[in-house]
Amino acid sequence: MDVQDIKNRFGIIGNSPLLNRAIDVAKQVAPTDISVLIQGESGVGKEVFSHIIHQLSSRKHGPFIAVNCGAIPEGTIDSELFGHEKGSFTGAHEARKGYFEVVDGGTIFLDEVGELPLNTQARLLRVLESGEYIRVGSSKVQKANVRVVAATNVDVYEAVKKGKFREDLYYRLNTVPLRIPSLRERKEDIFLLFRKFVVDFTDKYRSPGVQLTPDAQELLTNYNWPGNVRQLKNIAEQIAVLEKERIVDARILSNYLPAEKNSSSLPVFVKEQSKEDFSERDILYKVLFDMKKDMVDLKKLVVELLQNGANPASYDQNAQYINQLYQEIKPSTPQLYNEDSGQTAALTIHNPNNIPSGNSYVSIDDTQDVEEVEESLSLVDKESDMIKKALKKHKGKRKSAAQELGISERTLYRKIKDLNLD
């Protein structure tokens, strides 16, 4: 079976060399039993390639199941994949087979494998290496004759470097890497796909045919398509159903295309701007350490000012710096804490009569009785406050807030529930 036969059998449209190469790799690896890692952006059709690998293999008469790892809660993913025994956890009223047991002799497609928790990754690695697994709540080792085809829309190698994905599992899954090109990498196929989708939907909804003018075809081809084939299919369906004009020009087509942004909200090969990937606790510690550093710098500066009081030329600059630094640390009335005496003194910046106009200096009044307000250093309070700020900044959009905090959306949902932030 050649590449064109595979396209016809599985409904794949396009003549891009990158697409043909991906199909050829799938065809060559299908007869073997080695694991395959399919990589590509969201909406490129990774599941179609998992069907190609299964149907062209010796397991084609065995069961096939597709599992979206990102859609299963972290607390139940082990039970879903490997099964559980009766009474192994609350709600386990009876024993249950997992997907690996159900698909014995067939193929399991693990979509969004990068979302698996680390402990589940260890279980999966054991299945891949020895074919053995243990049900949740059991001590009996069971065998599984299952071929694993995994897929991800994130850069797994970057996740490995950040400690979010096991390196040994990455290399075990990535025995044969299979990359599906994005739609913007196969521009020559965009109009062919659109025309096919429009014909299908006009037949389905019994609506008149749709034609694109040359300027509309150019706009369609040059659009970025962050949602890839899935997004193109949705646009074709909208036009087939909603558009009254059946000859569509660029002006009409632009009404159906979302405005392009510098960064897509889709989870496709996202790269953090910072070099470090902070956890929630790391972020809180960093904030506290920065505050402490600012206080130390301020105390040193005040001491220098007191020791070099005969140099009024630097008063203005230093006084302005202290004011600015204190506004960042404590927006309320500035105070200094004297570690030797254990007393708190008010910090004032003023311009007495005996100093030339335009100059100011710092004085510390340790006779003023100022009540010291101790700021809460609770990690739970800080964590709750940062989550609230992130949600407020992104207008309640949890996916964007999770990206801002450097955590997964699933972890953010759990934190919101644990901290009663609903």
Model confidence, pTM: 0.60
Q: What domains, with CATH codes, occur in the chain?
A: 3-181 (3.40.50.300), 184-254 (1.10.8.60), 281-365 (no CATH), 377-418 (1.10.10)
Give strand pairing partners of 212.
Answer: 248
Question: What pLDDT, on the 0 to 100 scale, is given for residue 407?
Answer: 85
Q: Indicate the residue type of 126.
A: R
Q: For residues 201 and 358, which has the higher predicted lDDT (pLDDT)?
A: 201
Q: What is the pLDDT of residues 254-292, one digit of tens each?
A: 999 987 654 444 444 434 444 444 455 666 666 776 777
Cα-based torsion angle of the residue sequence 237, 240, 241, 246 in order, rounded to the nearest 10 degrees: 160
Residue 140: how many other CB atoms lie within 10 Å: 7
Query: How many percent of the chain have pLDDT more than 90?
Result: 52
Residue 17: how many other CB atoms lie within 10 Å: 10
- What is the arithmetic mean of pLDDT over 332-349? 47
* Exposed e or buried b per residue across 215-234, where buried means at least 16 C-beta atoms within 10 angstroms of its C-beta: ebbebbeebebbbbbebbbe
State yes or no: pLDDT of 371 exceeds 80: no
Question: What pLDDT, on the 0 to 100 scale, is given for residue 317?
Answer: 58
Distance linking the first and last C-alpha atoms of the chain: 55
Chain mean position to CA 192: 32
CA distance to 176, 296, 321, per residue, from 300 (Å): 59, 6, 13
Give strand pairing partners of 150.
Answer: 37, 110
State yes or no: pLDDT of 336 exceeds 60: no
State yes or no: pLDDT of 300 exceeds 80: no
Q: What is the pLDDT of residues 398-413, one digit of tens each?
A: 888 888 888 888 888 8
Hey, what are 136's tokens?
């949740």
State yes or no: pLDDT of 350 exceeds 90: no
- What is the arithmetic mean of pLDDT over 173-190? 92
Question: What pLDDT, on the 0 to 100 scale, is given for residue 380?
Answer: 72
Among 47, 44, 53, smallest CA distance to 14 is for 44
C-beta separation of 152 from 113 below 8 A = yes
* Exposed e or buried b per residue across 255-284, where buried means at least 16 C-beta atoms within 10 angstroms of its C-beta: eeeeeeeeeeebbbbeeeeeeeeeebeebb
C-beta separation of 239 from 210 below 8 A = yes
What is the rounded CA–CA span in Å between residue 98 and residue 134?
10
Hey, what are 144's tokens?
């599984």
State yes or no: pLDDT of 167 exceeds 90: yes
Q: What is the pLDDT of residues 238-248, one digit of tens each?
A: 999 999 888 99
Q: Look-up: residue for tokens 């570690």?
A: 339
Residue 346: how many other CB atoms lie within 10 Å: 16
Q: What is the pLDDT of residues 215-236, one digit of tens each?
A: 999 999 999 999 999 999 999 9
Among 365, 363, 364, 361, smallest CA distance to 318 is for 361
Q: Indicate the residue type of 79.
A: S
